[in-house]
Structure 1
Amino acid sequence: MKSIIIYFAFLLSSFAIGSLEAQEEREQKEFNLDSVARVREIKEQKIKIATQEEKDRLKKEIEKINKDLESGWYEKEEAEKKKKEAAKLAAENIRNRIAIIENEVDIAERNREPGTYLELKLSKGKINLGIDKPEKDQRIEEKRTKNDFVIAFGFNNALADGQSINDSDFKLAGSRFFEIGWAWTTRVFENTNWLRIKYGLSFQLNGLKPTDNRYFVQNGDVTRLDEFEYDLDKSKFRMDNLVVPIHFEIGPYANRSTDGHRRFSTEDQIKIGFGGYAGFNIGERQKLKFNDGDDQKIKDKSSFNTNEFVYGLSGYLSFGGTALYAKYDLNPIFSSPNTEIHNFSLGLRLDID
C-alpha cells in the first residue's frame, strides 16, 4: 500500500512539473511575442516622430525663405536654390535619423536581460548625441557702414561776381586742386540701399596761378594782384584746408546673397552725390620763381587776409569707384574789405576701398 502511494505521488509530481514547464514555456513565448511587438512599436514611434520633425523644420525653412524673397533678401533664383538645398538636407536628415533609431533599438534589444521589457525614452523622437544646439539664423548682412580712401584732383580757379571764366585772373590749365581723405558710407535704411550718407575728413590743396605776370600783394587788410617787376617763371598761390565733407548719395544697387551673406553692391552702378563741406583754412603760401640776374625762389607764408573758416557745396557723378567731382566755396577767399572771389574746382574723384 505504501509503495502504491509513493508511486502515485511520483506520477502526480511528474504531471504537475510537466504542466508547470509547459505553462512557463507558453508564457515565455507570449512574452517574447509581446516584446517583439513592443520593439517594433518603439521603432515605428521614433521614426514617425523624427520624420515629422524634419518635415516641420523644412516647412518653417521654406516659409522663412519665402518671407526673405518678399522682403528682397533673396532674388528668385537664389530663393529656389535655397529651397532645393533645404529639401535635400531634410531628406538626408530623415534617412540618417532612421538609421540611428534602428541601430539604437537593436543595441538596446541585444543587451536586454531575458524576461525584461525593452525600455527606451522617446524624448520626442530625438536622439541626443551631445551636439544638439539651438538653431541660429545663419544670414549675415553686409555692414551698414563701410569706408573708402578718397583721392580727387583736377582744375581749379576763382571768380568774382559777374566775372566769366574767359576773363578769369587765373590760368585755366595751370591752376589745379588736390584732395585726399577718408570717407565712410552708411546705408540709411536696413533693407534697401538706394540712399546712403557719405561723410569723412579731407585735406584740400587749392592752387591758383595768376595771369599776366602778376602775384598777390598784401597791404594791411587789403590783398590785391599786382604786376611783378621781373618776368616770372612761376607764380603760384596755394590754400590748404582741412574739411569735413558730407554727401547724400543716391543710385541703384544690386541685392546679392551668396553663402548666407547679403550684399547691397553698388559696383558698376551709377551714383549721384550732393552735399557740402565745412572746415578751416590751415595755411596759405605763395611761391615765386624769377631771374633778376640770378635764379631766385621766394616762398611767402603771409596770411594774405584769407578767411579762416571755409565752407561750400560739392557733388559728384560716379560709375563704380570713379566720379566726376565739383566743389564751390561759398566763403570768399579773402576777408572784407577785399573783393569777393570764390574758389571752385572740377575734376576726378576716386573712392578706393
Structure 2
Amino acid sequence: MKTITFCVIACLCLFTTQLTAQTFEERAAQISKNIEEITKQQKDSLKIEVEQVNQMLDNDEISEETAKILKKEYAARRARIIENKVTEEEQKLTQLVKDKVDGRISDNNQTFSSELSKIKDSLEYRKNSYKYRRTTTQFVFAIGVNRLVTDGTIDNDNYEWRSDFYEWGVTWNTRIFENNNFLHFKYGLSLQYNNLRPKDDKIFVSEGGKTFLQDSGLDLKLSKLRYVNLVIPAHLEFDFTPKRTNNDRVSFPTHRSFRVGVGGYAGFNVKEKQKLKYRENGRKQKKKEKGDFNVNDYVYGVSAYVGYGEFSLYAKYDLQPVFSDNEIDQNNLSLGIRFDFN
C-alpha cells in the first residue's frame, strides 16, 4: 500500500513539474506574441486615422493645414502607445523569468532548471529580434511643394508656389548584410497626392487629347488639379547607426543617426480631379470636375532623401510627363520633408 501511495505521489509531482514548465513556456510565448500584436494593431489604427483625415480633407471639412497637424498628432500618439504597452510587456517578461530563477515558481528537478535557462535565452532573443530584427516596418509620411519642369526649366510663371504634394505609405526595411548595419534595401507601397495650382484665374482644359491652361473668366479663390498615384518605391538606404553589443549579443538598431536613401518608384494613376472655388452673384460656389485630364496612366521616377533619425529632406522627380500626348513634356519635381516612423 505504501509503495502504491509513494508511486502515486511521485507521478503527481512529475505531472505538476511538467505542467508548471508548460504553463511557464505558454506565458512567455504569449508575452512575446503580445509585443508583435501591439505594434501591428497600432500601425493598422494609424492607417485608418490617416485615411479618415484624407476623407475629411477631400470633403472640405478641414483645411490642409489642419490635416497636416492631425496626421502628426495621430502618428505621435500611436508611437507613445506602442512604447508604453511594449514596456509593460517587457516588464512582465523580466518578472516572469526572475520569479522562475529566484524559485518563486516551483522548480522540482535539475533537468527543468537547465531547460529554464534555455527558455530565458530564447525569450531574450525574441525581445531583441522584435526591436532589431533584420526586416523592420515603417510608416512613411512626406509633404512638400510641386514644380512642373518644362524643357529643363521650372515653370514659375503659370503655377503658384503653393502647388504641393503629400505622400503616405508603408515600407519594409531589410538589412542586406547579416553582420553589417550600413546598407539596407527599403521597399513598400505609397499613395502620392500631387496638386497643381494655376495662377491668374486659369483652369485646366482638355481638348483633342491635349491638356492646357485657359482663362476661366472667373474670380477664382481656388484652382487646383489633383492627381493621385499608387506607387511602389524602392531605395538603397545607407544608415550610419552603429551596431550595438550588450552581454555578447549584437543588435542592429536603425533610424538613430544620419541616413541617405537613393532609388525610385513606379506605379499608376488612380484618380484625377479639378477643384474650383469662386464667387458668383455674391455667393460662394464650389465645383469639382472628375474626369479625364489626360494625366498619364503610369508613372515612374527617381527619388532620394537625406536626414537624421526619423526626419529627412526628400526629393522626387517623375521621369514620365504629367500629361500624355501634349506637344511639350512637363515633368513633376517635388521637394519636401519626410518622416519614417518605426
Deviations 1:197-238 (A, max 9, x none): 111000110001001211100112011100111111110111
2:290 partner amino acid = K
**TM-score (ref. length: structure 2):** 0.62
Equivalent residue, structure 2, for 1:347: 336
Deviation of 1:318 after TM superposition, in Å, equals 1.4
Q: Identify which range, 257-266 or 292-301, moves more after superposition.
A: 257-266
Residues 132 and 288 from structure 1, CA distance in 2 versus in 1: closer, same or farther, beyond 3 angstroms?
closer
- Residues 1:325 and 2:314 aligned together: yes
Larger radius of gyration: 1
Deviation of 1:256 after TM superposition, in Å, equals 1.1
SS of the aligned residue for 1:170 comes to coil
Q: Distance in 2 between matches of 1:155 and 1:261?
A: 44
Percent sequence identity over matched residues?
42
Deviation of 1:289 after TM superposition, in Å, equals 1.1
Q: Distance in 1 between matches of 2:187 and 2:334?
A: 19
5+ unaligned residues in a row in structure 1: which ranges?
A: 1-127
Equivalent residue, structure 2, for 1:281: 269
CA RMSD, aligned part only?
2.0
Are 2:211 and 2:326, in contact at CA under 8 Å, matched by a contact in 1?
no
Alignment of 1:39-188 (within 5 A): 129-131=110-112, 133=114, 140=125, 142-165=132-155, 167-172=156-161, 174-188=162-176
Equivalent residue, structure 2, for 1:202: 190
Are 1:152 and 1:349, in contact at CA under 8 Å, matched by a contact in 2?
yes
Q: Distance in 1 between matches of 2:239 and 2:294?
A: 41
Deviation of 1:339 after TM superposition, in Å, equals 2.1
Residues 289 and 131 from structure 1, CA distance in 2 versus in 1: closer, same or farther, beyond 3 angstroms?
closer
- Residues 1:257 and 2:262 aligned together: no
1:183 partner amino acid = T
Deviation of 1:267 after TM superposition, in Å, equals 4.1
SS of the aligned residue for 1:233 comes to strand
Deviation of 1:259 after TM superposition, in Å, equals 5.4
Deviations 1:63-117 (A, max 9, x none): xxxxxxxxxxxxxxxxxxxxxxxxxxxxxxxxxxxxxxxxxxxxxxxxxxxxxxx
- Residues 1:237 and 2:225 aligned together: yes
Deviations 1:162-192 (A, max 9, x none): 4335x342111x1110101001100000000
Deviations 1:114-159 (A, max 9, x none): xxxxxxxxxxxxxx94347588676835311000111100111212
2:259 partner amino acid = K
Residues 292 and 267 from structure 1, CA distance in 2 versus in 1: closer, same or farther, beyond 3 angstroms?
closer
**TM-score (ref. length: structure 1):** 0.60
